[in-house]
Amino acid sequence: MSAFRVGLSADFTRADGKPTFPSYDLTPLARDGVELIQLPRAGVLSAQQVASCDAIVLLGERMTASSFPPDGRLALVARMGVGYDTIDTDACTAADVALTITPDAVRRPMASAQVCFILALTHNLVAKDRITRTGQLGWPARLDYHGMGLVGRTVGSVGVGNIGAEMFKLLKPFDVRMIAYDPYADPARLAELGVEAVSLETVFGQSDVVTFNCPLNDETRGIGSASMISRMKPTAYLVNTSRGPVVDQKVLYDALVARRIAGAAIDVFDPEPPSADEAILRLDSVLTAPHSLGWTDQMFATMGDLNRGAIRDVMTGHAPANVVNRAVLDRPGFKSKLATRARR
């Protein structure tokens, strides 16, 4: 068998040839005899594009059942971040390919991004920035933009995974009431965090800030629905850093225009990227970021560490950490791939 070959997402390199994420570094693998190649730029990877790779590292590309080459060489898809709705996990398992994510890399950066949004909304930061730039004549308008104090207010979350738990840890010093809806959360873990488990209706109805910390799947798609958003207080804010389709974007827009809620902060959209004439982008009550508010040098450095570890594990015949499709670990085909590499 030839050298261990790792295909890298085309998103790693900018049009000018410079690295997109300078702190993300896989070059130490070259010292282990790993051959790093750049994959073609594609919305959906084809089997031909992935052929001859032992592992691939992806950011924005999608993989469907037709993306897996028949040569049976591919053993690892290392997904940057924690979202994997772009990857057909069942197809990964059927092809004896492990899918890994990097939860430890995004936990703190994404939690701090949520807190950033919450503080910016409740302090009317954007409006006050705009007022400041108008000069002496505009300053009296600041009287119309008192913020919302957080002490004793309620912050609710739809889902409490790693990022949601970290968000609640960061919010503790603000003396907020913390509630969450997550049918899969460990009650003992929630109690340890000081988070009250409640119904989905309660999260929307009682929260002063509603946040989303759930993956995108059949259960969560559109969970921020018309019936739920209609329950929100007129003074409440909505923060979405999860995935765009978990919130009905048109319903959210209508609620903001009608001033049925106070504002929103959105790092993710449906579709993504949104068009330049997307109506919600024109609202002064909305803060936005291009699905990158949590991006930091530390995030990508840690992603590099975790992806290098997963690649080295597979290359040396060991099962990697943070596998999404755990069933693959017991499949004879995947075990055979690891055994072959261990013998090398």
Q: Please state the three-class secondary structure of 278-302 as a single string.
A: CHHHHCCCEEECCCCCCCCHHHHHH
Catalytic residue (one of 5, 73, 243, 308): 243
Catalytic residue (one of 192, 201, 219, 272): 272
For residue 164, which phi and psi values (nearest 5 degrees)? -60, -40
Tokens 């690892």 locate to 76
Catalytic residue (one of 107, 291, 308, 341): 291
Side chain identity at 208, as an amino acid letter?
D
Six token digits for residue 271:
């579709």
C-alpha dihedral sign at 130, 136, 137, 141: positive
291 is catalytic: yes
272 is catalytic: yes
Q: Which residues are catalytic?
A: 243, 272, 291
